Amino acid sequence: MPDAMAAETPAGPSGRRRTEVAVGILLRADGAMLLSTRPPGKPYAGYWEFPGGKLEAGETVAQALRRELIEELGVTIGPVSVCKVTEHDYPHALVRLHWCKVLAWTGTFEMREGQTMAWQQLPLTVGPVLPGAYPVLQWLAGERGQRVVADAAPK
């Protein structure tokens, strides 16, 4: 993977350019992960997602994630590396998501974009989740022998 990427890269199978996105899986010592709601005014506002955002031209994933988490949450993360890459084709954008586990940060969480945050164990107790975040939740659930959402109660 290149050290720095353009914010958009050549077209994917659907003929659209890909938007590169850095996403953080912030994990607490007890295994809880941080989810937050998408701010008002953005596509899928109110859906739950992992914190992160689009790369700016010339930024690495780690640099973009560091900047986004300061902007959105007011916390500063240490060095991170990408643990998984996924793609999702939305009506509004074809996105390539670079996922990083984040185990250490400094600062106090502030919801700087009017979002709501929740530390979540699996199965999740919040929803709905952004479709592009679902494959990673399934991957994390597989690591833990858990389900992303609880089984429906029998009728």
Q: In the beta sheet, which residues pair with residue 129?
A: 48
Smallest distance, ligand 8GT to C-beta of residue 35, A: 8
Q: Which is nearer to ligand 8GT, 89 or 147 (CB)?
A: 89
Residue spans of beta strands (DSSP E) within 1-155: 8-9, 18-26, 33-37, 48-49, 52-54, 76-77, 82-89, 94-102, 105-106, 117-120
Q: Decide whether 76 or 152 has the Cβ nearer to ligand 8GT.
A: 76
CB of 44 to ligand 8GT, least distance (A): 6
Residue showing the smallest CB distance to ligand 8GT in the complex: 132
Q: Which residue's CB is nearer to ligand 8GT, number 42 or number 144?
A: 42
Cβ closest to ligand 8GT, residue 84 vs residue 147 = 84
Please give the residue ranges that form the binding site for ligand 8GT (CB under 6 A): 21, 23, 42, 44, 49-50, 52-54, 88, 90, 93, 95, 97, 130, 132-133
Residue 61 C-alpha from the chain's centroid: 12
Q: Helix-strand-coil percent breakdown of the chain, rounded to 5?
A: 15, 30, 50
Instruction: Please report where in the chains the tokens 């502030």 appear, as a residue.
Output: 110
Q: How far is the CB of 134 from ligand 8GT (least distance, A)?
A: 8
- Residue 38 CB, nearest approach to ligand 8GT (Å): 7
CB closer to ligand 8GT out of 84 and 155: 84
Instruction: State the minimum distance, in angstroms, from the CB of residue 76 to ligand 8GT.
Output: 17
Q: How far apart are CA 62 and CA 59, in angstroms?
A: 8
Bridge partners (DSSP) listed for residue 19: 8, 95
Rounded Cα gap, residues 20 and 11, in angstroms: 12
